[in-house]
């Protein structure tokens, strides 16, 4: 299976993951500082900032776009419970 590396900047930890893994599945296991609530892309709690490899995450859905907008997301902010990892990227809590 295709692999990708995701780095959590706040705890300086990189994890090798199977492509398609959601960021939240990794971040909660290693205890990175991204917090989450509903896990369904509704509450906006899990917003994170993608510092590198923005294009290596799945495109945001219409719902995610809406929640990001409602929560005043900046450029390259994503929901950790929605974004799936396709290639190497670096993220940190917003």
Partner 1 sequence: MRGIAVSRSIDVSAHRQAVEFADGVYWIGALDPTLRSFDIILTTANGTTYNSYLVKGSDGVAVIDTVKENFSDEFFARLESEARYEDIKVIVLNHLEPDHSGALPELMRRAPQAQLYISQRATSMLKALLHGDENLPYTTVTTGDSVSLGDRTLQFLHTPFLHWPDTQCTYLEEEGILFSGDVFGCHYCDKRLFNDLVGDFRFSFDYYYAHIMRPFKKHVMDALKLIEPLKLSQIAPTHGPILRERPRRYVTHYRELSTSSLSQGIGSDEQSMIIFYMSSYGNTARMAEAIAEGAGDVDGVRVSLYDLEGGETDPFVDLIEEADALLFGSPTINGDAVKPVWDLLSSLAVVNLKGKLGAAFGSYGWSGEAVRMIEDRMRGLKMHIPRSGMRVKLIPTAEELEACHAFGLEIAEVLVGKSGSGGVIDFADLA
Note the residues at the interface with partner 1 (CB under 8 A).
Answer: 5, 10-18, 21, 26, 28-33, 35, 42-45, 67, 70-72
Shortest gap between Cβ of 11 and ligand FES (angstroms)?
19
Does 39 bind ligand FES (CB under 6 A)? Our answer is yes
Query: According to DSSP H, which parts of 1-94 are helical?
Result: 23-30, 62-70
Based on the shown chain and the rule CB under 6 A, indicate whether residue 36 belongs to the binding site for ligand FES.
yes
Q: How far apart are CA 83 and CA 24, in angstroms?
A: 8
Specify whether the CB–CB gap between 26 and 5 falls below 8 A. Answer: no
Angle, vertex CA 51, rays to CA 4 and CA 14, nearest 5: 40
| Interface pick for ligand FES out of 38, 51, 59, 72 (rule CB under 6 A) | 38
47 contact partners, CB below 8 Å, separation of at least 6: 68, 71, 73, 77, 78, 79, 80, 94
Q: Nearer to partner 1 by C-beta: 58 or 71?
A: 71
Q: Which does 20 bind (CB under 5 to 8 A by kind): ligand FES, partner 1, none?
A: none
Binding site residues, ligand FES, CB under 6 A: 36-39, 41-46, 67, 79, 81
């Amino acid at each position: 299976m295709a692999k990708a590396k995701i780095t959590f900047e706040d705890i300086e930890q990189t994890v090798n993951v199977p492509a398609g893994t959601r960021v939240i599945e990794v971040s909660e296991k290693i205890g990175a500082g991204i917090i989450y609530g509903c896990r369904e892309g509704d509450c906006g709690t899990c917003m994170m900032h993608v510092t590198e490899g923005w294009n290596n995450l799945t495109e945001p859905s219409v719902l995610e776009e809406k929640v990001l907008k409602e929560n005043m997301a900046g450029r390259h902010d994503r929901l950790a419970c929605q974004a799936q990892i396709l290639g190497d990227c670096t993220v940190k809590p917003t």
